[in-house]
Structure 1
C-alpha cells in the first residue's frame, strides 16, 4: 500500500474517455488551429488572464497551494492569474472541464493524486490521463494525517482503534472526496483493523472534512497535513500519526503510521500543473520553466513548507513518469481494499 502520491457525491462522467488530438509546433500565444478549434486564434497568458482550475472546493490542500503559486507566478511573470474551484465527482468534474477546455494558454489544471487514483476507481472517466493533458510540472507533496479532537481522550492510533472497536457504529471518519489518498487510507485502515462498521463521510474538499472534525460531527479525520497543520499547532486538534515516510519537520512528536505499528502504511498527496492537450508546446515549456524557477526560490520553499507541503519540483516529463508508475500501483491498493465507485 506504499504510495508517494491524492476527490461529495460522484458526478456522472461521460461514457467514453475523450481522445484529444495533440497539436504540436504552435507558436507561443496562439490557440490551436481552426481546423480543430472554432474561433480565431487569440493571445495566451500573460496577454490574457490565466485560470488555474482546482478540482476541489476551497480550503483544502490543492486550493491552498494553487493560491500560493498563482500569486507568486503573477508577481514573477506579470499579467493576471486567478484560481477557480470546480469540485465534485471525486475531482472528475474539474479535471474533465479542463480536459475539454480550449488549449489556448488561458486555462490549466491544478491536479492532485486523484489524477492517478481515479482511473482505477471509476468505470468511466471524463478524461484520459495520458492523452488529454500536457504536463507542465510537479509542485509539491504533503503527507496525510489522522487527527482527533483532544476531548476524545486518545493519544495514539492504537488507542483510537481500541476505543472505536468497542462501538464502531458510534464512530465515523471524515475524508476529502472519494479517490483522494486520505479517503483510500481511511478504507485501508478500516480493512486492517476490522472497523468496517465505522462510517466514512466524504466531503467535497479537505477543508470541509476538517471542519467536520472541528465541529464534532465526526470523531476521526483523515486528511492532508496542509489544512490541518495550523490546528495541530494550536492544539485545536490532536494528530495521532502522519502517513509520510518520515516525521514532519516541525511536528517531531507525531509518529508516522509505520512507527505507530502499520508497516508499509505510507500515503502522500501530490500536486501538479497540467494544460489541455493541444496547448502550444512553447507555452507549456515557458510555464514549466517559470514555475520550477519559482519553486527553487528559498522564500517560496519556506512558505510552502510552513503551509504543510514538501517541495518536489519535477518537470512535466517526470510527472508523467509518476503517472505511468502510480496508476497501476493504486489499482492494486484499490483492488485489495475492495473499493469501487460507479460512474
Structure 2
C-alpha cells in the first residue's frame, strides 16, 4: 500500500513538472514571437503591387499603406512591378528576403495564373504566408459613350452586325476581367478582339482615349469615370447592383445565369517571414479596414471590404486555384 501511494505521488510530481515545463515552453515561444516583432519596423516596408498604378490592387494598396505606416509607426511604400499578368511582381515578392520588409498585395491573378500559364515563378501554396483577405469588387462592362451603345443588347447587336469592328481592353491576360470578356463572347455568341494591358489603369485610359471601344475592368478604377459620364457602364458581374450605381444592372438580371465574377485583393508575405511579424501586420491591417472611415472610403471606391485574417486568405487560395484551373480548361484556353 505504501509503495502504491509513493508511486502515485511520484507520477503526480512528474505530471506537474511536465505541465510546468510545457507552460514555460509555450510562454517562451510567445516571448520569442514577440521578440521577433519587437522593434519592427526599423526601416521602410515595401509592398509590391504586381500591376500598373491606378488599378484596383494599386488603389487598395495605397490606401492601406498610408494607414499601416501610421499604425506601425513606420514608413510603408508601394512599388509597382507590372508585367506578365502579375507574374513578374508576384515572383519578385516570392523570392524576396523573408524579413517582413517586402510584402505583396495582389489580385485574383494570384489564383488564376497557375491554370493559365504553363510555368509561373511562384508556388501559390508554398511560397507565401497569408496575411489577410482585404476586399473584393465586381467587374464591370464599359463602353466609350461615343460608341452610341446604351445596353448589353445594343452591344451584342452591334458586334453581330459588325463582327470585326469591336475590340475590348482588359488589365491583362488571365485577369478576371479578361476571363469575363472571353466568357461574354461565348455566352453572347459574338466576337471582339482582346487588347491586354499591364493593369487596369492603362486599360481604362485606352477606352477613355478611344483606343478601344469596350473594356472589362474591376469597378474601383472605373468608378469615377462612370460617375463623371466619361464612361458608360452597361452591366456589372456581381451578385447585386452597386449601391451608388442603381441604374447599372447585373449580368444575372439580364438573363445571363451564373455570370458572376469579381476581383479580390489579398495581402501576403514571403514564406518563412517571422510569424510574429505576419500576425502583427495582419492584426493592424484588419483593424484599419474595419474603421468606419477606411471602410466607407473603400466602399465609395468600389470595394466590398472583407477584412479576414490569414485563414480566410488561405481558404480562398485553396478554393480558387483549382476552381480557375477548371474554368480555364472548360473554356478551352490553353496555358501559355
TM-score by length of 1: 0.86
Query: Out of 207, 218, 222, which is 1:228 matched to?
Result: 222
Equivalent residues of 2:115, 2:335 under 8 A apart: no
Partner in structure 1 of residue 178 of structure 2: 183
Does the 8 A contact of 1:60 with 1:205 survive in 2?
A: yes
Q: Is residue 44–residue 105 contact of structure 1 (8 Å, CA) maintained in 2?
A: no
**Cα deviations by residue, 1:11-40 (Å, 9 ceiling, x for unpaired):** xxxxxxxxxxxxx99745759xxxxxxxxx
The residue number in structure 2 matching 1:218 is: 212
2:299 matched to 1:296? no
Q: Distance in 2 between matches of 1:172 and 1:72?
A: 39
Mapping of residues 255-274 of structure 1, within 5 Å: 255-274=249-268
Name the SS of the counterpart of 1:278 in structure 2. Answer: coil
**Residue 277 (structure 1) aligns with:** 271
SS in 2 for 1:169: coil
Structure 2 residue corresponding to 1:171, chosen from 141, 157, 166 = 166
Offset, 1:322: 1.0
Could you state the TM-score of these two structures normalised by the residue count of structure 2? 0.88
CA distance in structure 2 between the aligned counterparts of 1:305 and 1:132, rounded to whole angstroms: 31
Runs of 5+ in structure 2 lacking a partner? 1-28
What does residue range 43-122 of structure 1 map to in structure 2 within 5 Å? Answer: 45-122=40-117
Structure 1's unaligned 5+ residue stretches are: 1-23, 32-42
Report if the CA contact (8 A) 1:243-1:265 is conserved.
yes
**1:257: Cα distance to partner?**
0.8
Q: Which runs of 4+ in 1 moved over 6 A?
A: none
**Which gives a bigger RCO, structure 1 or 2 (Cα 8 Å, sep 6+)?**
1
Q: Deviation string for 1:96-121 (max 9, x for gaps)?
A: 10110000110100011011101111
How much is the aligned-residue C-alpha RMSD, in angstroms?
A: 1.6
Structure 1 counterpart of 2:21: none
Deviates more, 1:333-342 or 1:210-219: 333-342
- Contact 1:121–1:334 under 8 Å retained in 2: yes
After superposition, give the CA deviation of every residue in 1:50-71 in whole Å (9 maximum; x if it has no partner).
Answer: 0000000111111111000000
The DSSP-based 3-state class of the residue aligned with 1:182 is helix
Alignment of 1:121-270 (within 5 A): 121-196=116-191, 198-270=192-264
Match of 1:16 in 2: none
Distance across 2 between alignment mates of 1:228 and 1:209: 10
Corresponding residue pairs, total: 307
Counterparts of 1:96 and 1:29 in 2: how far apart (Å)? 29
> Taking structure 1 as reference, are residues 241 and 27 closer, same or farther at Cα in structure 2, changes over 3 Å only?
same
What displacement does 1:195 show? 2.3
Q: C-alpha separation between the residues in 2 aligned to 1:150 and 1:286?
A: 47
Change (3 A) 1:78 1:144: same
1:181–1:269 Cα contact (<8 Å) kept: yes
Which whole-Å CA distance do the structure 1 matches of 2:281 and 2:145 have between them?
44
Deviation string 1:235-266 (CA, Å, 9 cap, x unpaired) is: 11110000100000000110001112211000
Q: Which has the higher helix share?
A: 2
